[in-house]
Amino acid sequence: MHDSRRSLVVCRSGRNWELRRLLLLFVPVLTMLIGCTSAMAQQTRMYFIAAVDVDWDYAPTGINQISGAAFGETENVFVHSGKERIGKVYQKAAYREFTDGAFTTLKPVDPRWEHLGIMGPVIRAEVGDTIQVVFKNMTGFPASMHPHGVLYAKSSEGTPYNDGTSGSDKADDAVPPDGTHTYIWLVPERAGPGPMDGSSLAWMYHSHTDEPKDTNTGLIGPLIITRKGSANPDGSPKDIDREFVTLFTVFDENASHYLEQNVERFTSKPRRVLKKRLEDEDFRESNLMHVVNGYVYGNLPGLTMKQGERVRWYLQAYGTEVDLHTPHWHGQTALIMGMRMDMVELLPGSMKTADMTPDVPGTWLYHCHVNDHIDAGMMALFTVTE
Ligand SMILES: [Cu+2]
């Protein structure tokens, strides 16, 4: 008994030694393999995005979807087109994704992102990746792409100011009509979720050549970063079933690059408006479009989810001192910064994340809780299916 135990021990250590020798032989191969996988995980994500002109309809269904009724006096302040009113369709600019650098074929929008509306495409990355955006300006005014959060050199900041740069470091600041520029943004740890964040967070990108005018004209989009190791191959967070990005802002069409074009194209007395009405208080009021993703009075499509799904909402706001927004969900609650809420506070430039597991099926109201903004149409509907 004793002997056989001893021989067993000898035999085991003999095997261990052989195993170790084998492992030592495989070390270089293993190192190579590990190196390859981490190189694969750190990828360059390419985007071809153009700023394009669009005729944007703020209420394409033509009715107030919240009341289910035709537009009345309150809504018509903003949506009615007439002698001295532009109405609900404005020429705007938007970021749109193309299939390649020829910029001739628009990339089809995934139905999951239909709700982005006026916003540009989602730019995604996992911490460790590099984002490369080939940008073409197809609008009639100089524009740029300025990102939040990620790491960039001066040649990829997209903002002109007295920062001591010159030459090629300035090419990104104001891409002229028909011009192109390639922006390179790195995604180090500090561009990704912090200790209190979930597996992903959203930054914004927008034109910053003339920031107030560019963003009022529509050049705005989301940039989503997922924690290292938490992303699917497409960059989306593994632990989330569905993501929504919602933007709350009052688009001030009086401050758009295209105000004059809009007066000429969409009012029936453009000369009178251009001569006498641009400073008129009622005219200016009619051009304040209180939107969620570019839609008023419940016209935002695509906010559909299933009961029990892990849903992540990214909320953003732009604008000026009237742009304090308090998006509120009916019927559900969400976790925001670890706290249970059904409402989020946003100021211009805010970016917040809310995680929701919708548990009650139905069609629900999602609206800004500021009274003046409710009247002006900053409301949407979302649907939870069984
Ligand atoms: Cu609001």
Tens-digit pLDDT profile for residues 138-167: 999 999 999 999 999 999 999 999 999 999
By residue count, the chain amounts to 386
For residue 243, give the nearest of 105, 114, 103 by alpha carbon: 114
CA 298–ligand 1 middle distance (angstroms): 14
CA 58–ligand 1 middle distance (angstroms): 16
Exposed, middle or buried, 68 (CB in 10 Å: 0-12/13-18/19+)? exposed
CA 87–ligand 1 middle distance (angstroms): 21
Question: How far is residue 206's CA from residue 117's CA, in Å, rounded to a whole number?
Answer: 15
CA 289–ligand 1 middle distance (angstroms): 11
Question: How far is residue 344's CA from residue 248's CA, in Å, rounded to a whole number?
Answer: 11
CA 332–ligand 1 middle distance (angstroms): 19
CA angle (181 as vertex; 177, 183 as ends), nearest 5: 140
CA 302–ligand 1 middle distance (angstroms): 21
CA 246–ligand 1 middle distance (angstroms): 12
For residue 321, give the nearest of 345, 347, 343, 346 by alpha carbon: 347
Spatial neighbors of 116 by CB under 8 A, at least 6 apart, are: 109, 122, 222, 245, 293
Q: Are 63 and 71 in contact (CB under 8 A)?
A: yes
| Residue, of 268 and 5, whose pLDDT is higher | 268
CA 259–ligand 1 middle distance (angstroms): 23
CA 370–ligand 1 middle distance (angstroms): 5
Question: How far is residue 131's CA from residue 187's CA, in Å, rounded to a whole number?
Answer: 8
CA 347–ligand 1 middle distance (angstroms): 9
**Residue 42: pLDDT band with limits 50, 70, 90:** confident
CA 373–ligand 1 middle distance (angstroms): 5
What rounded mean pLDDT belongs to the chain? 92
55 bridge partner residues = 91
**Residue 17: pLDDT band with limits 50, 70, 90:** low
CA 155–ligand 1 middle distance (angstroms): 35
Tens-digit pLDDT profile for residues 161-201: 999 999 999 999 999 999 999 999 999 999 999 999 999 99
Instruction: Report the largest interatomic distance among the alpha carbons of the chain, rounded to a whole angstrom.
Output: 111
Domain residue ranges in the chain: 44-385
* Per-residue confidence (pLDDT) for residue 7, from 0 to 100: 42
CA 83–ligand 1 middle distance (angstroms): 29
**Residue 24: pLDDT band with limits 50, 70, 90:** low
* Per-residue confidence (pLDDT) for residue 270, from 0 to 100: 96
**Residue 25: pLDDT band with limits 50, 70, 90:** low
pLDDT of residue 249 exceeding 90, the answer is: yes
CA 27–ligand 1 middle distance (angstroms): 59
Residues with CB under 5 A from ligand 1 (ion): 325, 368, 370, 373, 378
Question: In which element (H, E) is residue 213 found?
Answer: helix 211-217
DSSP 127-196: TT-EEEEEEEE-SSS-B--EESSSEE-GGGS---SSSS--GGGGTTT-BPTT-EEEEEEE--GGGS--TT
For residue 338, give the nearest of 359, 320, 317, 352 by alpha carbon: 352
* Per-residue confidence (pLDDT) for residue 277, from 0 to 100: 86
pLDDT of residue 26 exceeding 90, the answer is: no
Question: How far is residue 95's CA from residue 147's CA, in Å, rounded to a whole number?
Answer: 13
**Residue 15: pLDDT band with limits 50, 70, 90:** low
* Per-residue confidence (pLDDT) for residue 43, from 0 to 100: 94
Question: How far is residue 168's CA from residue 150's CA, in Å, rounded to a whole number?
Answer: 20
CA 319–ligand 1 middle distance (angstroms): 10
CA 371–ligand 1 middle distance (angstroms): 8
Region 106-116 average pLDDT: 97
Strands 304-306, 379-385: parallel, antiparallel or unpaired by DSSP? parallel
Tens-digit pLDDT profile for residues 327-379: 999 999 999 999 999 999 999 999 999 999 999 999 999 999 999 999 999 99
Q: Characterize 321-338 residue by residue with b for buried, 16 or more Cβ atoms within 10 angstroms of its Cβ, and e for exposed.
A: eebbbebbbebbebebee
Question: CA-CA distances (angstroms) from residue 124 to 92, 302, 332, 364?
Answer: 25, 20, 27, 29
Region 295-316 average pLDDT: 98
* Per-residue confidence (pLDDT) for residue 29, from 0 to 100: 52
Residue whose pair of structure tokens reads 């390649």 in the numeric block: 100
Fold of 44-385: Immunoglobulin-like (2.60.40)
Exposed, middle or buried, 369 (CB in 10 Å: 0-12/13-18/19+)? middle
Q: Which tokens hold the place of 124?
A: 């995604």
